Amino acid sequence: MSTPHLLLVAGIGGHAPDEALDSLTTVSRTVSVVYVSAWNDPEPVRADWERRSLGGEFVTAPDLDAAVTAALDLHGRLPVDGVVTYSELLLRPQAEISARLALPGNPPGAVAVAQSKARQRQVFAEHGVPSPRFAVLRDEADLAPAAARIGLPAVFKPSLGAGSQSVQLVESLGELTDAYRAARATGTPFLQTEGVFLLEERMALESDGDSGFAAYCSVESLLAAGQTHHLAVADRLPLRHGYAEEGVVLPSRLDEATRAAVVDCADRAIRAIGLTTGAVHTEIALTAYGPRVIEVNARAGGPLPTMFEVAAGYDYAAEIGRSALGLPPGGPPRFTRVALLRFLPIPEGSWQVAAQTPKDKVLRAFPELVYLSPRFTPGRHVSRQRTLHLASFMVDAPDLVTARSVAAGVERALDVRLVPAHTPAEVPVS
């Protein structure tokens, strides 16, 4: 295949379009884009695509169904050889396009299971994949029986969702009822809906003893040319603000036996769902009873393509493009450095950002920073209704000790201070 035609479906979330195009253009110089404009303005991405002088076309679509139609029309003008997305919200159209065009890709039914935590749990139970006990909540009448069966405290979460939004520990039937009603009333960026929630057995994920890490990790995998390649295990930083994620470290510090056990658990989960192509991000709880699957995602974990590049010089995004063409990977990652991604969670409540060091000043002070992304400016009101984090940054370091030391220094230097909405007291974020 001398000049394959790759199609990128973009528009929200996942690997940034400019970085995705950087990687995909190492695979082919014919890269089209179908941009779903329901969330963001497509014009900056169109301008970047045009600047690259690529073969293919840039087309927009107002929603997910229109994206499928646009891709099929494009194929009629310029046959497509592979379809790529890096976004959770765009997995369904990607799968439908691939299936309609008989191209390499995950079956739409498998993607539907991967996007529904309720259906995942049912499939895992049927296939004996270790995962927490659960109850499906479809209306308020299900709450009391579910609490009695699963026991409290337990974890409440939407079946369809991302980024731990509306996921919380509930300790009483009253808290469960409040969480359910609030989640029902909360808008979602998904254009599809499910209307289903879960109550799950609590797994103590917050910390893994005194290790300085959370008691869960993730397995990063690539399914390509009929083979499953488990590329790495990534660790998580301790959770101190509910289930708002606090950080990712690649590669893992776990011992070889534990890594092998979590990879085996992830492999069983992937096979049970029926995924066949592209990236898979599987979160695994480290429990006293062995690894248990938290969830499987049929795409790369949000920051992982950049983290692979930092820690191993490995172009994960390009390898995902190769997989979409039915090609085997170029080779496994070889880790020589440590990538640490830190999220600064928003505490519970309603706040105003009172102070924060300017981004450029912090970047100048820490050459180890790959990027720094404050999400708010001083004076802005913040709460956990739309996002769970105040800022994120990534550190490139030669070893774990250095990575953690630099990350702590960046956090201190950024010095985000919050004012509670109804009191004048300043609260430093930590």
Better-scored residue on pLDDT, 155 or 384: 155
What is the Cα Rg of the chain in Å?
A: 21
- Per-residue model confidence (pLDDT) at position 191: 47
Q: How far is CA 124 from the centre of its chain?
A: 21
Give the DSSP letter of residue 366. -
String of DSSP letters for 314-349 = --HHHHHHHHHTTPPPS------SEEEEEEEEPPSS
Better-scored residue on pLDDT, 242 or 104: 104
* Residue in 383, 328, 51, 22 with CA at minimum distance from that of residue 186: 383
- Per-residue model confidence (pLDDT) at position 316: 98
Collapsed DSSP state (helix, strand, coil) of residue 105 = coil
Q: In the numeric block, which tokens belong to residue 315?
A: 């172009």
- CATH number of the 133-201 domain: 3.30.1490.20
Residue span(s) of the chain under CATH 3.30.1490.20 come to 133-201
pLDDT digits (tens, 9 = 90+) for 118-137: 999 999 999 999 999 999 99
pLDDT digits (tens, 9 = 90+) for 199-241: 999 999 999 999 999 999 999 999 999 999 999 999 999 999 9
The fold of 5-103 is Rossmann fold (3.40.50)
- Per-residue model confidence (pLDDT) at position 164: 63
Phi and psi torsions of 206, nearest 5°: -60, -45
pLDDT digits (tens, 9 = 90+) for 174-193: 999 999 998 888 765 554 56
pLDDT digits (tens, 9 = 90+) for 255-311: 999 999 999 999 999 999 999 999 999 999 999 999 999 999 999 998 999 999 999
Reported CATH class of domain 117-123+205-336 = alpha beta
- Quick check: bond before 153 cis, omega within 30? yes
- Per-residue model confidence (pLDDT) at position 422: 73
Q: Could you tell me what percent of the chain has a pLDDT over 70?
A: 96
Residues in CB range of 242: below 8 A, 6 or more apart: 167, 168, 169, 345, 348
Collapsed DSSP state (helix, strand, coil) of residue 260 = helix
Residue span(s) of the chain under CATH 3.90.1170 come to 338-430
| Burial of 238 from C-beta contacts in 10 A (0-12 / 13-18 / 19+) | middle
pTM of the model: 0.94
- Per-residue model confidence (pLDDT) at position 189: 54
- Per-residue model confidence (pLDDT) at position 162: 63
* Domain 338-430 annotated CATH 3.90.1170: yes
pLDDT band at 195 (very low <50, low <70, confident <90, very high): confident
Q: Name the strand (E) or helix (H) holding 150.
A: helix 143-150
